[in-house]
């Protein structure tokens, strides 16, 4: 062994012991007659001391030449520190070095490997292995490990079996584009990397596995939005002989367990809300319910009072902000500009102040009487001291704009407290979504999701009205998981493929294996997948998932450390039958 102890473990009871440590030079303080060197490893930092009187000249000179990030092995005696640092575990002792062995010299690192590093994001991504030496990233990776171990143990105890499914598969439409892998042996043919193991986990249910899970990489070639990774990890699960409630209850158990074990938070309540309610009340299918600001529909009581803007619009919707009356006129103007920015796209913002003395002041006083404004107050559940914001326009657009405004205000008022955890199941999603560009339906969740039993008839007459046995788990305004009860009947599956625009032949070509399997006694089944990266980030109280991934890609989907994607050489292309013929 190159060491007897690690750099995080020596304490007062070790004084006078002879020990050997190994680690990286974090810092050197040369006082002229005494040199202190901090060495670091995964476990902590230990202070070394070299001094002109007690060390040999050779040793002292060697210490003088140490520089940051050199890898060293040191042996010596543990002694009591004169000025103790009680903030760190090893802060009461130091090591009087007798032997210094430089295991490897380091070049000066491109940024300081300290909590407050001077390295910018791109630079740290390029030298990720150095960034991982920093406590923050290291702790994040250890935290991720804790989460995944807890997930594995929990699910395994509950009878879920961890089974690997293939990465080289056939393209499955799940809403995103596939990453494609050319086949050398079958030129002109391609594998696809899985967007999720969806069809395989369903086939495992047909295979009688009953309860499956896998912590698995998924790949989606999507246009990159901030904080999305082209490859990401899911906790993927599937169960047989279950209905929707069974799945929700089972996984409430998992999330409660994680919150209890990792955050010491006891959650008894996972409220459930339908998709329609979530949209109507919060303008979002993943509402953050840590705060109120529930919408009120003012359409019917606000039209026909001479205010042209409202009279000509489909919907008039508002919400009240608790104690919002303290928001200044200037800030209200700021919010008005905010909703008008192109990304939001509202035409304007109407406001009402509900004063402490119950008088009202609004931007539309000319058109609405006190009593009429009192009706708005009631519908938006405002109380004296609150401020009401109202938007108008097309129903769906207005909901979305108001939903965005609600979140932005909550953010500004610091209502999105990362130490509060408010989970929410959103259920009864629409089965299909109309794609205006392609002029056809696509599956809102995925094509294997079952319609609600009572809506099956509507598939023929009004497919857009059909609700699905689909659910999302939302945590603090983030979708952390989603799943559904699946179709297990091959005729119904065929009908859905047809609705999604597949001819029988195309459906057979692409999904024949699944429809075939359904003919051999497929059990009723359903499941869910959680986004592990996001879940870990939220549990860790942070915003960016990149910080919890050892080797992430940047915002343009590049790995700047290994420089990928990159071109390949012509012989490689030839071998794959992919050579681009230049005209």
Residues that bind ligand ASP (CB under 6 A): 196, 198, 446, 482-484, 527-529
Smallest distance, ligand ASP to C-beta of residue 175, A: 8
Report the largest interatomic distance among the alpha carbons of the chain, rounded to a whole angstrom.
95
- By C-beta, is 377 or 474 nearer to ligand ASP? 474
* Measured CA distances, 191 to 84, 166, 167, 508 (Å): 61, 11, 9, 18
Minimum separation from the CB atom of position 251 to ligand ASP (A): 11
Q: Is the Cβ of residue 286 or residue 446 nearer to ligand ASP in the bound state?
A: 446
Rg from Cα positions in the chain:
30
Cβ nearer to ligand ASP, comparing 257 with 446: 446
Q: Are strands 231-240 and 211-219 parallel, antiparallel or unpaired?
A: antiparallel
Among candidates 198, 252, 243, which has minimal Cα distance to 469? Answer: 243
Q: Give the nearer residue to ligand ASP in terms of CB position, either 47 or 196.
A: 196
DSSP class of residue 430 equals B
CB nearer ligand ASP, residue 92 or residue 446: 446
Min. distance of Cβ 220 from ligand ASP in angstroms? 9
List the helix and strand counts (H, then E) for the chain. Answer: 17, 22
The CA distance from 332 to 387, in Å, is: 10
Q: Name which of 233 and 284 has its Cβ closer to ligand ASP.
A: 233
CB nearer to ligand ASP: give 155 or 327: 155
Length of the chain, in residues: 583
119 or 527: CB nearest ligand ASP: 527
Supply the minimum distance, in Å, between the C-beta of residue 483 and ligand ASP: 4
If you write DSSP's letter for every residue of 197-216 in order, what string do you get? SHHHHHHHHHTT--EEEEEE
Give phi and psi for 458, each to the nearest 5. Answer: -65, -15
Report the half-sphere exposure of 334 (CA within 13 A, side-chain side).
Answer: 8
**SS3 sequence, 378-420?**
HHCCCCCCCEEEEEEECHHHHHHHHHHHHHHHHHHCCCCCCCC
Distance of closest approach, residue 454 Cβ to ligand ASP, in angstroms = 21
- List Cβ neighbours of 480 (8 Å cut-off, separation of 6 or more): 473, 474, 530, 531, 534, 535, 538
Distance of CA 436 to the CA centre of its chain: 29
Identify the H or E element spanning 99: strand 93-104
Give min distance, CB of 448 to ligand ASP, in A.
7
Per-residue tokens: 32 = 């002229």
CB of 456 to ligand ASP, least distance (A): 20
Residues 6+ apart with CB under 8 A from 137: 131, 547
- Closest approach, Cβ 17 to ligand ASP, in A, equals 54
Structure tokens at 251: 């996984």
- The nearest distance, CB 196 to ligand ASP, in angstroms, is 3
Q: Which is nearer to ligand ASP, 198 or 450 (CB)?
A: 198
Contacts of 94 (CB under 8 A, 6+ apart): 36, 46, 47, 48, 49, 78, 79, 81
Residue 112 CB, nearest distance to ligand ASP (Å)? Answer: 40
Identity of the residue, 219 or 389, whose beta carbon is nearer to ligand ASP in the bound complex: 219
Rounded least distance, CB 446 to ligand ASP, Å: 6
| Residue 472, strand partner residues | 426, 482
Question: Tokens at residue 538, please?
Answer: 């939220």
Question: With contact defined as beta carbons under 8 Å apart, do 39 and 7 qualify?
Answer: yes
Helix, strand or coil, per DSSP, at residue 93: strand
The rounded Cα 543 to chain-centroid distance in angstroms is 8
Identity of the residue, 48 or 532, whose beta carbon is nearer to ligand ASP in the bound complex:
532
Residue with smaller CB distance to ligand ASP, 320 or 484: 484
User: 334-337, long-range: CB within 8 Å, 24+ apart, which pairs?
Assistant: 335/389, 335/405, 335/409
- Closest contact distance (angstroms) between CB of 198 and ligand ASP is 4
Instruction: Report the C-alpha gap between 313 and 396 in whole angstroms.
Output: 12
Q: How far is the CB of 276 from ligand ASP (least distance, A)?
A: 20
In angstroms, give the least distance from the CB of 530 to ligand ASP. 9
For ligand ASP, the closer of residues 21 and 151 by Cβ is 151
Task: Tell me whether residue 327 or residue 528 sits nearer to ligand ASP (CB atom).
Answer: 528
């Amino acid at each position: 062994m190159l060491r007897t102890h690690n750099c995080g473990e020596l304490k007062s009871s070790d004084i006078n012991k002879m020990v050997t440590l190994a680690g990286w030079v974090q810092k050197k303080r040369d006082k002229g007659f005494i040199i202190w060197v901090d060495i670091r490893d995964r476990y902590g930092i230990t202070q070394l001391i070299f001094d002109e009187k007690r060390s040999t000249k050779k040793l002292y000179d060697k210490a003088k030449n140490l520089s940051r990030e050199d890898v060293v092995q040191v042996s010596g005696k543990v002694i009591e520190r004169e000025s103790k640092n009680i903030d760190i575990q090893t802060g009461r002792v130091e090591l009087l070095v007798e032997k210094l062995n430089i295991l490897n010299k380091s070049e000066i690192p491109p940024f300081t490997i300290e909590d407050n590093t001077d390295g910018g994001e791109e630079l740290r991504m390029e030298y990720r292995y150095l960034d991982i030496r920093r406590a923050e990233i290291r702790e994040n990776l250890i935290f991720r490990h804790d989460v995944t171990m807890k997930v594995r143990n929990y699910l395994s105890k509950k009878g879920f079996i961890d089974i690997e499914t293939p990465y080289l598969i056939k393209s499955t439409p799940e809403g995103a584009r596939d990453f494609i892998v050319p086949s050398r042996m079958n030129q002109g043919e391609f594998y696809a990397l899985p967007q999720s193991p969806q069809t395989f986990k369903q086939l495992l249910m047909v295979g009688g596995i009953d309860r499956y899970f896998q912590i698995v990489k998924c790949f989606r070639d999507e246009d990159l939005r901030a904080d999305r990774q082209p490859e990401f990890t899911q906790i993927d699960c599937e169960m047989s002989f279950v209905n929707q409630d069974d799945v929700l209850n089972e996984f409430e158990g998992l999330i409660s367990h994680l919150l209890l074990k990792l955050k010491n938070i006891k959650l008894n309540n996972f409220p459930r809300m339908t998709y329609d309610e979530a949209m109507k009340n919060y303008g979002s299918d993943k509402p953050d319910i840590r705060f109120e600001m529930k919408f009120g529909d003012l359409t019917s009581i606000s039209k026909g009072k001479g205010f042209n803007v409202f009279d000509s619009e489909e919907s008039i919707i508002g919400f009240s902000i608790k104690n919002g009356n303290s928001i200044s006129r200037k800030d209200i103007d700021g919010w008005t500009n905010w909703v008008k920015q192109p990304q939001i796209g509202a035409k304007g913002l109407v406001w009402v102040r509900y004063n402490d003395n119950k008088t009202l002041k609004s931007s539309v006083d000319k058109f609405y009487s006190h009593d009429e404004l009192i009706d708005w107050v009631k519908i938006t559940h405002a109380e004296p001291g609150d401020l009401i914001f109202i938007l108008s326009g097309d129903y769906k657009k207005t909901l979305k704009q108001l939903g965005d405004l609600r979140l932005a205000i909550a953010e500004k008022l610091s209502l999105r407290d990362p130490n509060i955890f408010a989970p929410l199941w959103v259920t009864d999603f629409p089965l299909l979504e109309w794609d205006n560009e392609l002029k056809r339906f696509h599956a809102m969740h995925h094509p294997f999701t079952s319609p609600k039993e009572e809506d099956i008839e509507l598939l023929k007459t009004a497919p857009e009205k059909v609700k699905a046995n689909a659910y999302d788990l939302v945590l603090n305004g983030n979708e952390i998981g989603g799943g559904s009860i699946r179709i297990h009947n091959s005729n119904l599956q065929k009908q859905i493929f047809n609705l999604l625009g597949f001819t029988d032949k195309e459906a057979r070509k692409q999904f024949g294996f699944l429809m075939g399997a359904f003919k051999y006694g497929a059990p009723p089944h359903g499941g869910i997948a959680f986004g592990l990266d996001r879940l870990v980030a939220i549990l860790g109280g942070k915003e960016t998932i990149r910080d919890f991934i050892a080797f992430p890609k940047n915002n343009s989907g590049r790995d700047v450390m290994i420089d990928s994607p990159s071109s390949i050489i012509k012989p490689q292309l030839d071998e794959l039958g992919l050579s681009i013929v230049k005209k």
